[in-house]
Chain A
Amino acid sequence: MVLLLAITAGVLFAAAIYMILRRSLMKTLVGLLLLSYAVNLLLFTSADLVPARPALVDADSLLPPTVYADPVPQAFILTAIVISFGLTAFAITLMRQVYNTLGSDDLNEMRCTDVPCEEVEIASEEELLEEPL
């Protein structure tokens, strides 16, 4: 089971990095989403996987059972999910703002930060359609 999860996480990491390296902002966003899934899986496997043994102390005992599923990584994942939810929401809004301002979602067009804006020519819509992103 750990091996299967490890392979899945690895594949997700690879797919995420591939998508982040694309020029289209939407695909980069998908890459970031995949990346957060990959890390959540990794966190999940960071404690030994113990099925059907919750970390609950029996009513007549003071100590937890000797073998139990570690709840801490699950708490990590919950926190990480909430944070990545918020960040993704912000990233989507920002990307929409980029599209509204630039009329393009091609990262290669975003060179205003390196040369003065007047020198950056925005590709016309036909060019964008012709060129696969």
Chain B
Amino acid sequence: MIALPILLPLLFGTLCLMAWQNPRWQKAISLLGTTAQFGAAIWLLIRVQQNGIQHLQVGNWPAPFGIVLVVDLLSAIMVTVAAAVALVVAAYSQAAIDSPRVQYGYYPLFFFLLMGVNGAFITGDLFNLYVWFEVMLMSSFVMLALGGERPQIEGAIKYVILNLLSSTLFLSALGLLYNLAGTLNMADLALRLPGLETGNQITLIAMLFLVAFGIKSAIFPLLFWLPASYHTPPVTITALFSGLLTKVGVYALFRVFTLLFVQDTAYTHTILLILAGFTMVTGVFGAAAQTDLRRLLSFHIISQIGYLLMGLGLFSQPALAASIYFMVHVILAKTSLFLVAGIVEKMDGSYNLKELGGIYSTSFGVALLFLLPALSLAGLPPLSGFFAKLALVVAGFDLHQYAIVAVGLGVSLMTLYSMTKIWNEAFWKEPKDPVHHAKHKPISSWLWASTAVLVFISLLAGLLAEPLLNLANQAAAQLADPSIYIQAVLGVAP
């Protein structure tokens, strides 16, 4: 049953709704549900890896007439990483989410968000992708505004307006594409688009998709909603968003720019490459100016999106493989960093780097939990970030794209600077107020244990770089050759 990644969150989300009055039950259900989800995702990944692309004709309507769910390796990898993040965040939420938020439906929203994310990963139909985007957005809107503090509400307004705009652009691109090709089934589109005599119209529609997904994945110059909204909700929610939401936008870009819009790559993918460079630079320079831990990390989400886009812009199989591995790395590392930021705030009562200090001397464990993903993000061996960047750089050199490689390496140095800044300010320097500092609040074991698990997974992603890069390479091989996808879904060779 490849629909399990959609059905399980739906089931457990509904169970949470039924236990509305009983937070204790909801917490138990959330752990059970995310564990089941993780198991199903692993099973799906193994199955796809062994048997090739899986698909399901929903309602037994044959593609391209009905909606079809398709799981290729990229989808399976994304579903698995999302499930891992969800499991860890659910465990973290046990202690981190305050009881009013639980009473107003945090857990049901959590599962419906997950359902939207997974739906977007495994659908094989563009209009269905739009619907899953909306499912995901609706939950994220409410999660962002839940609690109703002033910064949250203001952040939510910006987030909601820009995301509605992006959804509308996506929908108009769908209308234009349907007019051109008469279908929105991705495999069918991939089959038909190369044969159409349409001049520049396809490129035009491709650019409309780029803008729509670009807003969602926060690429330059469409990124300003992200640092204005992501830091406002409780850090658990930020961690979940940073791991899943923008990555769905990037996944959608990967899907359409490898399967559908590959007619004029000299034009479209060069634009992607240029945007990738600007995204990296803007993100990392934006981060340099920040003193709030959450805002600083939010800007780093953006600069890392640039690396993901770089692999897509280079558009060769090794580059795509590097980007897929990078995606796994950045989701794990980034979510861990936000979770650690949450622990730091619980201990010291602030996110402000100027007020923090001395955590290394009082709590070595927390400092270590920060240091590993931070150095991984900056790209130091033997952590996952190093191998991800190495693979990207090698792919860039192979294609003689020296400019983007130089930008990528420069931004990497700047990331290291940013991470050492956090390290110096929050962990290393003498605390501002030693008396207050001595009274560190105790940390619930849910918080540090769940964070430690995620950091450990992130560490594994670095130590097991070889098998993971092989897997990413298989996924990239499927992306690089659309005929595999078409053959699997429609059963005809193009």
Contacts and interface: CB of A to CB of B under 8 A. Distances in A.
Given A20-B165, A39-B168, A87 B175 contact: no
A87 B151 contact: no
Given A32-B164, A83-B131, A114-B228, A42 B150 contact: no
Contacts of A39: 168, 171-172, 175
B410 to A, nearest CB: 26
A119 to B, nearest CB: 12
Interface stretch (B115-123, B153-161, B214-222): B153-161
Q: Which A-B residue pairs are the 7 nearest by beta carbons?
A: A46-B179, A46-B175, A110-B154, A43-B175, A113-B228, A112-B151, A42-B175
Given A94-B153, A113-B232, A36 B127 contact: no
Interface of B: 127, 131, 134, 137-138, 141-142, 145, 148, 150-151, 153-158, 160-161, 164-165, 167-168, 171-172, 174-176, 178-179, 182, 228-229, 231-232
> Helix, strand, loop or mixed for chain A's interface?
helix
Contacts of B175: 39, 42-43, 45-46, 73, 76
Interface in A31-84: 32, 35-36, 38-39, 42-43, 45-47, 72-73, 76, 79-80, 83
B168 A35 contact: yes
Contact of B145 (A35, A97, A114): A97
A86 interface: yes
Contacts of A47: 178-179, 182
19 contacts: A28-B161, A32-B164, A36-B168, A39-B175, A43-B174, A43-B175, A45-B179, A46-B178, A47-B182, A73-B178, A79-B127, A83-B131, A87-B137, A90-B142, A91-B161, A91-B164, A110-B154, A112-B150, A113-B151
A80 B171 contact: yes
Given A79-B127, A79-B131, A94-B160, A113 B154 contact: yes
A107 B138 CA distance: 22
B108 to A, nearest CB: 15
B178 A90 contact: no
Interface of A: 20, 25, 28, 32, 35-36, 38-39, 42-43, 45-47, 72-73, 76, 79-80, 83, 86-87, 90-91, 94-95, 97-98, 101-102, 107, 110-114, 117
A25 B157 CA distance: 9
Interface-central residue, B148, B153, B160, B179, by most chain A CB under 10 Å:
B153
A128 to B, nearest CB: 17
A110 B157 contact: yes
Contact of B151 (A45, A46, A72, A117): A117
Given A97-B148, A113-B232, 16 more contacts: A32-B165, A32-B168, A38-B168, A43-B171, A43-B175, A46-B175, A47-B179, A83-B131, A91-B161, A91-B164, A95-B157, A98-B153, A101-B148, A102-B150, A113-B231, A114-B228
Nearest to B135: A83
A60 B186 CA distance: 34
A80 B130 CA distance: 9
A87 B154 CA distance: 17
B174 A76 contact: yes
A90 B141 contact: yes
Contacts of A95: 157
Contacts of A42: 172, 175-176
B164 A101 contact: no
A46 B126 CA distance: 15
Contacts of A110: 154, 157-158
Interface-central residue, A32, A36, A46, A47, by most chain B CB under 10 Å:
A46
A106 to B, nearest CB: 11
A104 B172 CA distance: 33
A82 to B, nearest CB: 10
A36 B165 CA distance: 9
Contact of A83 (B134, B156, B158, B165): B134
Nearest to A110: B154
Contacts of A113: 151, 154-155, 158, 228-229, 231-232
A127 B231 CA distance: 30
Given A42-B176, A47-B178, A97-B148, A87 B134 contact: yes
Nearest to B171: A39
A34 to B, nearest CB: 10
B370 to A, nearest CB: 24
Contacts of A36: 168
Nearest to A76: B127
A23 to B, nearest CB: 12
Contact of B157 (A87, A94, A117): A94
B155 to A, nearest CB: 5
Given A39-B175, A76-B175, A94 B154 contact: no
B138 A87 contact: yes
Contacts of B155: 113
Contacts of B165: 20, 32, 35
Contacts of A80: 171
B128 to A, nearest CB: 10
Contacts of A20: 161, 165
A38 B145 CA distance: 28
A114 B150 CA distance: 12
Contact of B138 (A86, A98, A101, A114): A86
Given A28-B161, A76-B127, A86-B138, A94 B145 contact: yes
